[in-house]
A = this chain, B = another copy of it.
């Protein structure tokens, strides 16, 4: 399943998906509930956009117990990864992708503990 350029940029065209990708690019691997809290969006919305990113081939998922962790797809073409990296760097200061993700993660203390109230 090769990822076409058109589909790549279509995937980036939605603000929710873009923020998800920026978070994953910065943090490496996050579960759905962390992403949901970080974006302060409702779960089905986040899940649907993650599903689109997964189907398109931009991200990869991995189950661990009841959590599913997402990350940028390891086999993503180099130049696409660079685009994500550059975008994340350019926007790290300018626009906050998440609302206090660091605090959230320390609270979460996963795996082995519920991370979402």
Contacts and interface: CB of A to CB of B under 8 A. Distances in A.
Interface of A: 5-6, 9-10, 12-13, 15, 18, 77, 79, 82-83, 86-87, 89-91, 94-95
A77 to B, nearest CB: 7
* Chain A binding surface, main DSSP class: helix
A42 to B, nearest CB: 20
24 contacts: A5-B18, A5-B87, A5-B90, A5-B91, A5-B95, A6-B15, A6-B18, A9-B9, A9-B12, A9-B13, A9-B18, A10-B13, A12-B12, A12-B13, A13-B13, A77-B90, A79-B86, A79-B87, A79-B89, A79-B90, A82-B86, A83-B83, A83-B86, A83-B87
Contacts of A6: 15, 18
